[in-house]
Amino acid sequence: MTRNTSLLDRAAEAASVASRYCDEVDRDSRFPTESMQALKDARLMGIMIPRELGGESANLRDIADVCALLGQNCSSTAMVYAMHQIKASSLVSHGADDAWHRAFMACVASEQLLLGSATTEGGGIGGDLGVSNCAIERDGEEFNLRKDASVISYGKQCDAILVTARRAPDAPPSDQVMATVLKSQYTLEQTSTWNTLGMRGTCSDGFILNARAPVEQIFPQPFAEIAARSMLATAHLLWGALWYGIAANAVARAQAYVRADARKKPGVTPIGAVRVAEAANMLQLMRSSINAGIDKFERAQRANEELNSMSFAIDMCNLKIGTSRLLTDIVNQSMMVCGIYGYKNDTPFSLGRHMRDAMSAPLMINNDRIFGNTSNMLLVHRLDQRLVG
């Protein structure tokens, strides 16, 4: 499939803005206001929305390309954009036949709205997306919801939040729904601050969310179906794409360092050259894995039985684990090449921000949790041992 060059040209302009402010965003742990405004000015927020609703019907490969480009310049900007598009994928995949969500998609495209997510929760649940403590409480044609969200990424900055909860107060924790609530329909009471090692610009503070909205804003499908059929695969693929961007920039800095070293000693191969080759090899593995994952997801979307299969779920879980591990390995390898110049924060070869941001990757839907879920599936599912399948 050909790349959407017009879209990438617009994304490149926004990425150049992100590059100018990335160190400041990280240092001050502040939202990347300038780069997000640049993305809105470039009309990139609603590109996944169908054309008939004012979007561009961009496919996942196009959006992954944008995430990777942003990741090479400011990983916090890339993460905010990826999270927004993950929520947009839920709207497109599960709101197309719902009148309210179709109208809302048109608003996302026309007004370039930023979508947030409230799926994690306090009370011992943490990062387990498959269960909720809070519950939808219906009151005639409206519902009330109070959620103690341990994190809401860029909660103060988003224009709407897609929030998960139990279907009703008497529903079990795993019987969840997802609802879209607009900024005018909820209040946020901050309970914690986002003072972290990396990804500091995502501003993922903790909040108690209180919402009241019409029941028509609840998705008709169970959240388990939304997660399995669109959200988790999209998350793993777009996270992988922005992680690839971080890794690619780290390798580029290591390569630049080796080239500068080679110019100082003509005829002598720098000691770091072999490590750069090794890092480039891992980067290629990462790229191939993400592209293969996008291919598999696109095929699965055309075949419901594959999209719902254990083999597809296992493949997406393995992709997330593999790309998050490769990212940390690649950045560490690049740091070894650049040495003290990578360790310092004030050189062209600095990799401290890359390394700290990379450390978040294994924790986003914790790899141990994913391994636990995969191990349960492998008790009943036979691994596909074909080379080409």
Task: Report CA-CA distances (Å) from 360 to 79, 204, 239, 351.
Answer: 11, 13, 11, 15
**Cα–Cα distance measured from residue 115 to residue 157, given in angstroms and rounded to the nearest whole number:** 9
What is the DSSP secondary-structure string of 303-334? -HHHHTSHHHHHHHHHHHHHHHHHHHHHHHHH
**Cα–Cα distance measured from residue 115 to residue 51, given in angstroms and rounded to the nearest whole number:** 19
Of 137, 165, 348, nearest in space to 257 by CA:
348
Q: Are residues 109 and 160 in the same domain?
A: no
Domain boundary among 68, 88, 113: 113
Of 130 and 1, the structure prediction assigns the larger pLDDT to 130
In DSSP terms, 139 is beta-bridged to 142
| Residue 144 amino acid letter | N
Asked whether residue 146 carries a pLDDT value surpassing 70, the answer given is yes
Mean pLDDT of the chain: 95
Q: Are residues 19 and 60 in the same domain?
A: yes
Position 382 scores a pLDDT of 82
Residue 155 covered by a domain? yes
Q: Are residues 127 and 109 in the same domain?
A: no
Residue 389 covered by a domain? no
Q: What angle do CA 233, 183, 100 make, to 5 degrees?
A: 65
Burial (CB < 10 A; 0-12, 13-18, 19+), residue 169, is exposed
Asked whether residue 34 carries a pLDDT value surpassing 60, the answer given is yes
**Cα–Cα distance measured from residue 96 to residue 98, given in angstroms and rounded to the nearest whole number:** 6
Residue 170 covered by a domain? yes
Residue 385 covered by a domain? no
Q: Are residues 23 and 121 in the same domain?
A: no
Q: Is residue 1 very low, low, confident or very high in pLDDT (cuts 50, 70, 90)?
A: very low
Of 27, 19, 387, 50, nearest in space to 201 by CA:
27
Neighbours of 149 (CB within 10 A): 27
Q: Are residues 177 and 255 in the same domain?
A: no
Of 386 and 86, the structure prediction assigns the larger pLDDT to 86
Q: Please report the sign of the dihedral spanned by the C-alpha atoms of residue 67, residue 302, residue 323, residue 227.
A: positive
Of 3, 87, 13, nearest in space to 43 by CA:
13
Residue 49 covered by a domain? yes
Position 3 scores a pLDDT of 59
> What's the chain's length in residues?
389
Tokens found for residue 327: 């990212």
180-184, 267-271, 275-279, 328-332: least confidently modelled range:
267-271
CA 322 to chain centre: 15
Asked whether residue 2 carries a pLDDT value surpassing 60, the answer given is no
Q: Which residues, other chains included, contact 372 with Cβ-Cβ below 8 Å and sequence gap of 6+?
A: none
Mean pLDDT in residue range 219-234 = 94
Mean pLDDT in residue range 114-138 = 88
Of 292, 357, 375, 287, nearest in space to 326 by CA:
287
CATH code of the domain in which 174 resides: 2.40.110.10
| Residue 184 amino acid letter | S
Q: Domain range for residue 108?
A: 5-113
| Residue 318 amino acid letter | N
Whole-number percent of the chain with pLDDT over 90: 86
Q: Are residues 78 and 46 in the same domain?
A: yes
Domain boundary among 169, 195, 217: 217
Decide if 84 contacts 67 (C-beta within 8 A): no
Position 306 scores a pLDDT of 83
- Residue 54, SS3 per DSSP: coil
Q: Are residues 26 and 169 in the same domain?
A: no
Neighbours of 172 (CB within 10 A): 10
Q: Are residues 232 and 372 in the same domain?
A: yes
Q: Are residues 230 and 373 in the same domain?
A: yes
Q: Are residues 235 and 372 in the same domain?
A: yes
Asked whether residue 267 carries a pLDDT value surpassing 80, the answer given is yes
Decide if 355 contacts 346 (C-beta within 8 A): no
Position 125 scores a pLDDT of 65
Digit-coded pLDDT (tens) for 317-369: 999 999 999 999 999 999 999 999 999 999 999 999 999 999 999 999 899 98
What is the pTM (predicted TM-score) of this model?
A: 0.95
Q: Are residues 361 and 243 in the same domain?
A: yes
CATH code of the domain in which 343 resides: 1.20.140.10
Tokens found for residue 68: 């990777």
CATH code of the domain in which 102 resides: 1.10.540.10
Domain boundary among 113, 147, 181: 113
Q: Is residue 4 very low, low, confident or very high in pLDDT (cuts 50, 70, 90)?
A: confident
Position 305 scores a pLDDT of 79
Number of domains present in the structure of the chain = 3
Decide if 34 contacts 17 (C-beta within 8 A): yes
Q: Are residues 140 and 284 in the same domain?
A: no
Position 349 scores a pLDDT of 98
